[in-house]
Amino acid sequence: MFKRMALVLSLAVALWPAGKAHAEDSGDWIVLLSLGAGLYPAYTLWSEQEDRWVFLPVLQPNYRAGFTMAMMGGDMHSGYGGGRERATGFELGFNSMLLQPLRNSRIRQQISHVSYNRNGARISTLEANAHYLIGVSPGLELGFGPGIGVVEVGEGNTKRVGAFQLGVSAHYRTEDFYLGAELRHQFTQVAKLDEGRVDADNTRLMLKLGFWL
């Protein structure tokens, strides 16, 4: 119980200063350091748990995907666009089919598509984020984890580049409705556009509203 409480506090350490830095346009590097400050001890505590793991849980008779569909809205900050701008998208979530712990936690796969456009600088992301979730109260889970993505950069003559991201998240379920939040930083490859080489690294803070299928 103590370790789970400490893990939750570590996630809070990551979420609060990183969100504040993002809201104040303090720079992606401050957001990243804030995330790392909480994610590192969270990972350390998680790795110390003696969880047993199930590979390919989708093959087990008791596996339940727990699909969710949600609309996403919030803001994204990128140096390419010169600051913050509203971003919208949608997300499909489900319990990981490749790996799951046996104890009171789970891995949740989140596949999302989000678009950002500021001053003609367009970023469109398609990403998959696998978060390790810990239940903290009935219906409420907190999570953290990595992800990979494909990012389309530019307007008109666009380029697609690969990406890697780290984030923290909150998930709440009440009956058939789903409410969530996410803060994540994304590292992208350099995109070679007509105007030159573009770094599309970005940070987004999103709310999610949807339902369980």
Boundaries of domain holding 129? 51-212
Separation in Å, CA 122 to CA 55, 115, 116: 39, 7, 6
Instruction: Look up the CATH number of the domain holding residue 124.
Output: 2.40.160.20
Query: Looking at the domain assignment, is residue 80 inside a domain?
Result: yes
Q: How many CB atoms lie within 10 A of CB 159?
A: 16
Span 151-204, pLDDT tens digits: 999 887 789 999 999 999 999 998 899 999 999 999 999 988 877 888 899 999
Give CA–CA dist 195/4, Å, rounded. 49
What are the backbone angles phi and psi of residue 33, rounded to the nearest 5°? -65, -40
**pLDDT-wise least confident of 47-56, 62-71, 86-95, 165-174:** 47-56
Separation in Å, CA 152 to CA 47, 117, 201, 209: 35, 12, 12, 25
Span 29-57, pLDDT tens digits: 455 555 555 554 555 545 555 457 888 99
Query: Looking at the domain assignment, is residue 5 inside a domain?
Result: no
Give CA–CA dist 107/94, Å, rounded. 9
Span 194-207, pLDDT tens digits: 778 888 999 999 99
Q: What is the predicted pLDDT for the residue at 84? A: 87
Mean pLDDT, residues 89-115: 92
Residues of the chain with pLDDT > 90: what percent?
Answer: 52
Q: How many domains does the chain have?
A: 1
159 Cβ neighbours under 8 A, 6+ residues apart: 152, 153, 191, 192, 193, 198
Query: Looking at the domain assignment, is residue 71 inside a domain?
Result: yes
* Residue 82 pLDDT grade (very low, low, confident, very high; cuts 50, 70, 90): confident
Query: Looking at the domain assignment, is residue 164 inside a domain?
Result: yes
Higher per-residue confidence, 87 vs 53: 87
Residue 91, pLDDT > 80, answer yes
Per-chain mean pLDDT for the chain: 81
Q: Which two tokens stand for residue 6?
A: 């400490």
